[in-house]
Every structure is written in structure tokens, then in C-alpha cells.
Amino acid sequence: MKWRQLSKAHPWDITPNGGCSAPERKEGSIAYGRGDPVGFLKDLRKKDGATAAGEPDGLEIDAAQARELTTFFAPPRWLRDLGRTAWLLVGFFALIAGLLWLLGATYTITGPVVVATIVATVSMPIVARLERHRWPRAAAAVVVLLALAALAVLVLVVVIGGITSQSSEIGTRADAAANKAEGWLKSVGVNESGASGAKSNVEKDAPEIISTLTTGVIHGIQGITSLAFGLSFALLSLFFLLKDGPSMRGWVDRHLGLPPPIARTVTGGVIRSLRGYFRGVTLVAAFNGIVVGLGALALGVPLAGTIAVVTFVTAYVPFVGAFVAGAFAVVIALGANGTTTALIMLVIVIAANGLLQNVVQPFAMGSALDLNPLVVLVLTIGAGCIFGMLGLVLAAPLASAAVHISRDLARARLAAAVEKDAVEPSPDAPPTATVPA
């Protein structure tokens, strides 16, 4: 059916609610409302047939009236918005599922690269400082790499070696703590079979926990070969990231598909958040480890050094790490020195991870982690369930980076809008006249 422009002799009357009407129907005109599209189409066919037969007065529709006609058959706005949102969510979750599958399939490679990227982001300022002191960048990268490797080996030897050499003592203290817990249960009215069952469960699980602490780091990766490959690949990636970090960032900025200022804002926000977060977490972890270790030493709790190291290492996992380290310290204190010492140790752990940490953390981290604690806890646990250890460690800083990037972009948009309003003259302003000199 051919559409033509409606005769100007018979214009439509637009009602306040957006419909069309005509007070009276004249020959050669059409009167219909928004609720009568069928009548409109019948008149349209009739007029179109008359035009085809050679009659001079045909039906013609202009562009605005054609757009008005399409609203009769369009779905409601809320339904269109709901459909678009649903398809966006489907695409988003499909993308996440694909990325998870890809990461799982290539974890042997992506895991070391992610770890190397984190370490390089934090230690890049040291390389830059050496470069400012006339060091070649490659030499500065090698020196920083060797220092980091030595530090990592030292931490692994202290943690794994200390726990392995004292595993029998840890087991003995755990058994003693289980015996004391059994006595508590009996004293509060729990029958003997229930208390004995709880004790036997603890005694059965304690060797498995100790085995996980002593050998889980090695056996969690598929054999020594995979461990050696992962460490070698991580060190190689770390060297190139330290050496060529600025040029790599420039390449990423150019290939993000964003305008250069926005791309620099995004990458800069991620780098600042990761660097500030891990620098602050390291300071807080060292503080917590020293406080808890000195407290255990003052109370005469054995394995005070091991307790301090475990507290330091687990501090990199928000909330969950503090709970694990605190439980470890309290169990050792309970098995070694009894209930009173265990309660004092619990108070020290709570003070170190609560009151004292709230004093130190603002100075150590600043605004690097500007998130509600509940949000951090939910993100940490959820990311840990999906991505494992990397998710536990990276969930909080990446979420903080997203918040900072969004805030920076909002500030940039506001500044651009203010600058545009200041440059563009107001349309109501009178024209200015120039006076010749």
C-alpha cells in the first residue's frame, strides 16, 4: 500500500493525551482516535483505491502523522525497557561465564601472570626511583626482581618450614584443646556421648588441617613440575612487567577502545587502587603480626613466631584471614596454657584486628579501600567461591578500583560540563559590540 501526504484541507486534531480526533467527518477526510486504528486503515484503503482509480482527491500522510500511527502498534515503553534490560543481563552473564571457562582452561598461565601483575604494580615505584638515579631500567628491574624473589623464598621457608617442623607440637596442642573443650561441654550439661563425639570429630579433623597447612601449598598445585613452571613463568612475567611497564600501559590505553583521557583514567585508577591497597595491607599485616606475636610471647604461648607469621600472611585475605589466624592462635594458647591464657589471647587478637587496626589502617591505606566492610566481606567470599585464592585476594581492590574510576569519570564529566557552560555564551545574552580604537 502506498503512503502519501494527507491533504492540508483536513488536518488532524491532536488531543492532550496524544491521540488524534476530528470534530466532524467530511467527505475526503478521516476522523479517528488513538483507539480506532482499524477504522483508519479501512479509510486508508478506500482512499488509496480511489486514488488508483484516477480520482484526484487521495489520502496523504506526512512524516509526523506516520510516526503517530506507529504508536498504535508499538509495545509499552516499560515492556521495551524490560526487554532490553533482560537481554543485556543475559549477555553480561554469558560473558562472565565465558571468561570463567577461559580462566579455568588457562589457569596454569593466567595465574602466574595475574600474580606477577599485582607484584609489578606494587613494586613499580621502586624501579622508577632507581631509574631516576641513573640506573638502566633493565638493571633496576633485575635488582628489584631478585630482592622480591629472596623475600618470597624467606616467607615460604619461615611459614612452611616453621609449621612443618612444629606439626607434632601443633597436633599435641590441638588435642589438648579438644580435651578442654570436652570438659566444657560436660560442665554445661551436654551428655557424655555428645561431648565425646565432638572431641573425636576435632581429633579426626586436626591431622587433616595440619596436613593441609604443611603440604597444601605444594600438593595444591599438580606436582613439583607444575610448581616450578608456575614460579618460572611468574618471575619471567614479573621481569618484563617491571622493565616495560610504562610502554605496556600505553599499549593498553590505546587498545581499550576508549578516548585517551578516559583510558588513562581507567588504567590509572586500577593501578592506584592495587598499589595503595597492597601497600596498606602489608603495613597492617605487619602491625597485626607483631602485636599478636608479642602478645603470644608475653603470655608464654609456644609457637609465637609461627603465630605471628600466620597472622601476617593471612591478613591479605580480608576478614576470613583474620578469623583463621585468630582461631589458630587461640587454639594453641588453649592447648598449651589453659582457658585463661586462651581468653587473653582472644582479647589480643580482637584488639589487633579491631581497635588497633582501625587506628593504623587510615594512615596505611588512606582512601585505597573506600568500601563498606559488609560489601568487602560479601565480595571476598563470593569471588573466593568462583576464582579461588586469587578471588579472595583481588576482589576488594578491584571493586575499590571500579568505584574510584566511576568517581573520577563523574568528576571529569562535571568539569567538562562546567567548562562548556563557561565557554559558550548564553542565548539570551545581548550581542556585544566592539568599539573601534
Are 293 and 304 in contact by the 8 Å Cβ rule? The answer is yes
Residues contacting 166, CB < 8 A, separation 6+: 303, 306
- Residue 417 pLDDT more than 80? no
Q: Please, which residues bridge with residue 21 across strands?
A: 13
- Look up the pTM and report it: 0.59
Residue that wins the pLDDT comparison between 9 and 362? 362
Q: Domain coordinates of the chain in residue numbers?
A: 13-70, 76-105, 256-415
Give, for 21, the enclosing helix (H) or strand (E).
strand 20-21
Alpha helices in 255-303 (DSSP H): 260-298
- Residue 403 pLDDT more than 60? yes
The three state secondary structure string of 346-396 is: HHHHHHHHCHHHHHHHHHHHCCCCCCCHHHHHHHHHHHHHHHCHHHHHHHH
pLDDT at 36: 54
- What are 241-298's pLDDT values in tens digits? 998 888 888 888 888 777 888 888 888 888 887 888 888 888 888 888 899 999 989 9
pLDDT band, very low/low/confident/very high, at 389 (cuts 50, 70, 90): confident
pLDDT at 221: 43
- What are 116-169's pLDDT values in tens digits? 888 888 888 899 999 888 899 999 999 999 998 888 888 777 767 666 666 666
